[in-house]
Amino acid sequence: DISHRITRNLRRYLEPRQVTIMRIAVREMIINAIEHGNLELSFDEKTAAMESQRYFEIIAERQRDPRFRDRRVYIEYIISPEKCTYTISDDGPGFDYRRILSMPAEEQSTVLLEHGRGIMMAIQAFDKIEFNEKGNQVTLTKLIGLRA
């Protein structure tokens, strides 16, 4: 729901299909902040949870865990006729985003086949993607202009 709310005004400036792609990418980044950031669920743990069909159970367990339950995701955004920027931060320890960003395209499609495509979607949907040094904050920027 939040991804719909924070992208709906983009329709003033961009085509509906492009807005949908951006909304999905923003949603994926929010999900990453929750799962991998705040709940510290690793890629391998998520894969195992999905394979054993325990994914939702494990998410619920982590949400109740005192180590994770008070963590939050923070979303800031600005939409103007020139550009839109979304910054998504979490209270987690961060991750090595450089490893994902430096993967060759062939490896990305193999490694990220089951899940983990959120970053790749964001790279395709936005003009610029930046992580803070720690890896617990991403800023997505799309240059836009007034539609004719």
Average of pLDDT values for 6-24? 95
DSSP states of 16-33 as a string? HHHHHHHHHHHHHHHHHI
pLDDT digits (tens, 9 = 90+) for 33-80: 999 999 999 888 988 999 999 999 999 999 999 999 999 999 999 999
At 107, the pLDDT band (50, 70, 90 cuts) reads low
Q: Check whether 21 has a pLDDT greater than 90.
A: yes
Taking the C-alpha atoms of 85, 91, 95 and 97 in order, what is their torsion angle to the nearest 10 degrees?
A: 0
pLDDT digits (tens, 9 = 90+) for 108-142: 555 555 556 788 889 889 999 999 999 999 999 99
Beta strands 73-79 and 83-90: pairing type?
Answer: antiparallel
Angle at 48 between CA 46 and CA 51, to 5 degrees: 110
Compute the residue count for the chain. 148
